[in-house]
Structure 1
Amino acid sequence: MGEVAKEAKVSTSAIRHWEKESLVHPQRNLDSGFRQFDIEDIRKIFIIRTVQRTVFSLEIVREVLKEIENNKITQTREIASHALDQVNVILFKQIKGIAACDYLLKTIDEEE
């Protein structure tokens, strides 16, 4: 698991959580008990990581994985496009907040 986590740049606890949520289904090595990830699990881990970085819930992650598994690329593209729109709204609000804080600091500095 550590190798997969390192390659995907996620924590092992995140992968354990995704396994608990039935998003990935690694096999167990009968001798060692270690998880064995096949290429499909690794692909899902990269997809989950990417989708979650846009601040989405596990329900959205499940939806994206389902659409990809069913080769519904158009729906997956729509989800990604909607995600991008939401991220842009959040970023715009953050930029406005930064500008307001900057203005406040300049105003305070002028009064000193």
Structure 2
Amino acid sequence: MLTENGCPKTALSIRDALEALEGRWKLLILFALSSGPRRFRQLSVEVAGITDKVLSKELKAMEMNQLIRRQVFDTFPPTVEYSITEHGASLDKVLEELHYWGLAHRVKIIGK
């Protein structure tokens, strides 16, 4: 079945998923948050190689897509914590399968 713009419906859903998760960092951020809430600095350390500017941009996009939640605590200075939402946690199986595929791919292509 095709949509109004001529795309198959299955292609549309895959495109929507890829748009929500696009980029180099979102899946790594979700993986880090899957083991519990993190502060910004913790995430910047766990997601090695990401700059603070890019991390901030990715977190805002993920919050907009309801994959993560940002909670500000009334402390001085303000404490901000990021956690995965139920919607974001629904990707756990995908992340796990991607992890195993990545391990097999590494062995097949790199030999390690």
TM tier, smaller: 0.3 to 0.5
Structure with more of its chain in strand, by fraction: 2
Please give the TM-score of this superposition, normalised by the length of structure 1: 0.34
Structure with more of its chain in helix, by fraction: 1
Please give the TM-score of this superposition, normalised by the length of structure 2: 0.34
Between 1 and 2, higher relative CO (CA 8 Å, sep ≥ 6) is seen in: 2
